[in-house]
Chains A and B, each alone.
Chain A
């Protein structure tokens, strides 16, 4: 069974500092990995999707790397802002499955607070 772990569970930084969020998974045979953001009591917003053949994806201040062999992904957020305060979730999709559908395995998330 795929286990997804996110460290740290919570992170508080002053505005302007770079954020580094870690995600590890036990089964390296993943199809792709997706990073989400969740604001309190709200749904999930997709940030970045990394296919298994890719090493990284970038969008604005966000950069996510993927190292399948070591079972790790890292989300970098440059020059953090108070609006970046949220919970960040990592999810992986296995490359093998019993039917033609794709299921996500989620980590518990990292709750980020950016202090003004």
Chain B
């Protein structure tokens, strides 16, 4: 596989459930990101991992918990979510350095519905 792969594509969960979103990149990039896209709103950056270290936690509620076990994998663990957390969750990766940036590659997203 190539690019950035996200699973599952769709997820419906109750407010008391615990689930995880998975992202895998096959591009050799060294930074990975979680974005949230709600209806009629710009994309919101949630978390950034650079060289497997979290460098950004953009005021995200603790019911969202990221994990980056290695440079190719990124998870978003979900627990006790609210209906307003229903959104499209997008994973992205990029190659970062002080010398260059080749842009971002996004996955297809996970459509999350909290009931």
Query: Hey, which chain A residues are within 8 Å of B31, CB to CB?
Result: 101-102
Number of A-B pairs, beta carbon distance below 8 Å: 63
Inter-chain CA distance A99–B51, complex, in Å, is: 11
Within the complex, the shortest CB–CB distance from A103 to chain B, in Å, comes to 6
**A86 located at the interface, meaning its Cβ lies under 8 Å from any Cβ of chain B in the complex:** no
The B87-115 residues at the A interface (CB cut-off 8 A) are: 88, 90, 92, 94, 96-98, 101-109, 111
Q: Which of A18-26, A43-51, A66-74, A76-84 contacts B (4 or more CB under 8 A)?
A: A43-51
- Closest-by-CB residue of B relative to A48 is B103
Contacts of A109 in B (CB 8 A): 42
Q: How far, in angstroms, from A34 to B105 measured CA to CA in the complex?
A: 11
Tell me the A10-61 residues at the B interface (CB within 8 Å): 31-32, 34, 36, 41-46, 49
Q: Mark A94-114, 1 if CB is under 8 A from B, else 0.
A: 000001111110111100000
Do A43 and B90 form a contact, CB below 8 Å, given A99-B50, A101-B55? Answer: yes
B48 within 8 Å of A (CB atoms):
yes
Interface size class on chain B is 20 to 34
> Which chain A residues border B104 with CB–CB below 8 Å?
34, 46, 91, 104
Chain A residues with CB under 8 Å of B106's CB are: 36, 43-46
Within 8 A of A (CB), among B20-38: 31, 33
Would you give the shortest CB distance from A58 to chain B, in whole angstroms? Answer: 16
CB-CB under 8 A from A41, the residues of chain B are 88, 109, 111
A64 within 8 A of B: no
Between-chain CB contacts (< 8 Å), 10 pairs: A41-B111, A42-B108, A43-B109, A49-B102, A100-B97, A101-B56, A102-B96, A104-B43, A107-B42, A108-B42
Given A41-B109, A43-B108, A109-B42, 13 more A-B residue pairs with CB atoms under 8 Å apart are A31-B101, A36-B106, A42-B108, A46-B104, A46-B105, A46-B106, A49-B102, A91-B104, A101-B50, A103-B56, A104-B43, A104-B92, A106-B42
Which 3 A/B pairs are nearest by Cβ-Cβ distance?
A: A43-B108, A44-B106, A49-B103
